[in-house]
Structure 1
Amino acid sequence: MPMIETLPVRPDTAQWPVWGTVARLVVTDPTVLDQAADLLRDELAAVEQACSRFRPASEIRDVCRAGGRPVVVSSLLADLVGAALTAARETGGAVDPTVGGALCALGYDRDFAELAGRVIGPGVRVFPSPDWRAVRLTGRELTVPRGVLLDLGATAKAFTADRAAARIAERLGTGVLVALGGDIATAGPGPDGGWQVLVQDRPGDPSCTIRLPAGSALATSSTAGRVWGGRAGELLHHIVDPATGRPAPAVWRTVSVASVSCLRANTLSTAAIVRGHGARRLLAGVPSRLVTPSMRILRTGGWPE
């Protein structure tokens, strides 16, 4: 997982493990920290119940078991799936929520904390994704083709960071930063000088400190964070190229993108990993920081300093 951490600033901070990563909350008004943490925990629990593919009783698993029949879902799940389908459309399918089956075939069929150290044996079948256009969402009516397993991992965390930050700021009247691993969203008034954020993937990787203006967001996608053992000693990572059903070639170790929303930033950073050598064309004019496997750094689009 990307290790992007806020530097010490005036607001008070809370953090705890969640979804195989760390949830970090920073507020500009320390007196509302406990209330803000409760709101964030509620958001995380609601999203997990709606769309976790690791929970047999989650709402999305029920839809995927419906055998291709339309199912009326909660407004939250409809919003989550809608965000994933929008990301697929905007990236030409580079970010595709129908990769769930491919991820399971690669061995990523449980929470990542349970996957660590596991080696996938020979004979594992992998396959391209069925294509996001096969999924139908009309209002709250969701239809998933028979045999398709949705995975919203490329967008749900960023969606949740945006949604939680906005709700905390609105309800408590505080400036807030919500970080879920490498997905960071801010809302409300920021501290003087903006939010200071340390961007670094793994220990020993190149780092930089940037200032995010209030209301902006940052996302980092990595081919080095969530990795596990595959066949013949290969290392697999969690960002799948939908065209092949295999982990995208590690042209980039990490891609970080700053944007107006965490969802938009994460959509672009994930798509850049999948596009590989086409990432710079995709990110033209977008504030981005790309790190190669040899730790060379490329900056584009006025990356914040």
Structure 2
Amino acid sequence: MTKIKREKSKLYMDTVVQIQVFTETSKDEAEAKINRAFEAFQKIERACSRFNPDSELMRACRQIQRPVQVSPFLFEPLKFALEIAKWTDGIFDPTVGKAMEEQGFNRQYLTGKFMESPASVSATYRDIVLNERDRTVYLRKPMVIDLGAVAKGFAIDLAVNELKDLERFCVNAGGDLFAGGAEPGAGVWKIGIRHPTQNDRIIHTVEISNEAICTSGGYERKSPKRKGVHHLILPHTKQSPNDWISCSVIAPFAMLADAFSTAVFLSGVERGKSLIEEAELKGILITSGLQIMKVGGI
């Protein structure tokens, strides 16, 4: 049977999601798998969006000092975010949502509406209590939880689960991606990392297979309210670090790469490199002076 190429794009989570497959599977079967993969993004956006007051996340944020049962589509990425928060001693903290609102990162990309949520300035990840047995979330203080550093990766992983039986595929959500199998005629996927200051250029190329790569960059989204602040904000200072201009992390699954690219960016040079090595991952880190550092055996 001749291999067919199927490629489809949709808009989810404020980014273009592109799914590409090369397979001998029938056209109808391949199309069904691709559609189920897109549904994963829809489910995660409905569960984890900070910009939709009716999302499962924002409904839970309005319930203070009472356990709220949530779906796995919210519980699992929140649990993972809290693990990374503990590992980084709060440098990575999903309760940074209110600080992001205050810096102007509060506009819903589809409706244009702005979110303004009540929150305690002293809230941290330690004020979130999860009960795995009952799958509940308990908030000790009012807060806005932001899962932007894990939700897209989680959606990619769920989409990959729908496509894993196909010979070759790639799920690309705005440059954060998982490449399964290999490109036709090659042993690996060749992935370009965007130049931080020149949108139409690639600054570095990596080769991956059955791995994810996710990038966090200070050039991506600037605060409309405060000069020098971008969407990567340290929770304790409400400032944006600038030791790195871009951090790309390669990992076995996308949620891990997604979370670590953010954590490394926030952690600065020495601690950032150490995080990658401790987790036995791989990283391509670019300083504000455009110096490329390869970490973790690349």
TM-score, structure 1 as length reference: 0.82
1:13 aligns with 2:10: no
Equivalent residue for 2:230, pick from 221, 225, 237: 237
CA RMSD, 1 decimal: 2.5
Would you say how many aligned residue pairs link Structure 1 and Structure 2?
278
Q: What's the counterpart of residue 297 of structure 1?
A: 292
Matched, 1:269 2:264: no
Provide Cα deviations, 1:112-146, integer angstroms capped at 9, x if missing partner: 5788xx9xxxxxxx996622121011121111233
Q: Does 1:199 align with 2:180?
A: no
User: Could you say which structure has the greater relative contact order, defined with CA pairs below 8 angstroms and 6 or more residues apart?
Assistant: 1
Q: Is the partner of 1:98 in helix, strand or coil?
A: helix
Which residue in 2 is equivalent to 1:55? 52
CA contact (8 A) 1:128 1:243 kept: no
CA contact (8 A) 1:288 1:300 kept: yes
Match of 1:154 among 149, 157, 164: 149
| Contact 2:213/2:251 (<8 A) preserved | yes
**Per-residue deviation at 1:55?**
0.8
Aligned counterpart in structure 1 of residue 207 of structure 2, from 204, 211, 219 = 211
Looking at structure 2, the residues matched to 207 and 12 of structure 1 have their Cα atoms a distance apart, in angstroms, of: 28
State yes or no: 1:29 paired with 2:13: no
- Deviation string 1:143-187 (CA, Å, 9 cap, x unpaired) is 1233111110011111111121122225xx443221112321234
**For residue 153 of structure 1, what is the amino acid of its counterpart?**
G
**Cα separation, 1, equivalents of 2:7 and 2:56:** 32
Give the alignment of 1:31-110 within 5 angstroms: 31=27, 32-110=29-107
Over the matched positions of the two proteins, sequence identity in percent amounts to 28
Q: Distance in 2 between matches of 1:144 and 1:176?
A: 39
Distance between the aligned counterparts of 2:195 and 2:35, measured in 1? Answer: 28
Q: 1:35 to 1:193 in 2, by over 3 A?
A: same
Question: How far is the alpha carbon of 1:277 from its aligned partner?
Answer: 2.6
Aligned to 1:5: none
* Deviation digits for residues 218-240 of structure 1 (CA, Å, limit 9, x no counterpart): 11111001113324xx1421111
Separation in structure 1 between the aligned mates of residue 90 and residue 170 of structure 2, nearest angstrom: 30
Q: What amino acid maps onto 2:6 in structure 1?
A: D
Q: 1:177 to 1:204 in 2, by over 3 A?
A: closer
- Cα deviation, 1:196-224, whole Å, max 9, x if unaligned, reads 212114515552222211x2111111100
Q: Is the 8 A contact 1:84 1:97 kept in 2?
A: yes
In 1: Cα distance, 2:243 partner to 2:263 partner: 12
Q: Structure 2: how far apart are the matches of 1:82 and 1:222?
A: 24
> Which structure 2 residue ranges, 5 or more long, are not aligned?
none
Distance in 1 of aligned mates of 2:212 and 2:131: 29
Is the CA contact 2:34–2:162 (under 8 Å) kept in the aligned structure 1? no
- For the Cα contact (< 8 Å) 1:127–1:246, is it kept in 2? no
1:180 lines up with 2:176 in the alignment: no
- What is the CA deviation profile of residues 222-263 of structure 1, one whole-angstrom value per residue up to 9, with x for unaligned ones? 1001113324xx14211111222232x211110111111112
Q: 1:129 to 1:166 in 2, by over 3 A?
A: farther
CA distance in 2 between partners of 1:41 and 1:59 (Å): 19
Tell me which amino acid in the other structure corresponds to 1:18. Answer: Y
The two structures have a TM-score, normalised by structure 2, of 0.84
Whole-angstrom distance in 2 between the partners of 1:37 and 1:12:
9
- 1: distance between equivalents of 2:285 and 2:109? 24
- Residue identity in the other structure for 2:103: L
State the AA in 1 paired with 2:46: Q
Tell me which amino acid in the other structure corresponds to 1:196: K
Q: 1:246 to 1:158 in 2, by over 3 A?
A: same
Kindly tell me: are residues 235 and 11 of structure 1, through their superposed partners in 2, closer, same or farther at Cα, counting changes over 3 Å?
Answer: farther
Q: Give the C-alpha shift of residue 11 in structure 1.
A: 4.2
Equivalent residue for 2:221, pick from 197, 218, 226: 226
Distance 1:112 1:93 in 2: 28
Contact 1:99-1:129 at 8 Å conserved across structures: no
> Structure 2 vs 1, CA of residues 89 and 11 (structure 1 numbering), >3 Å: closer, same or farther?
farther
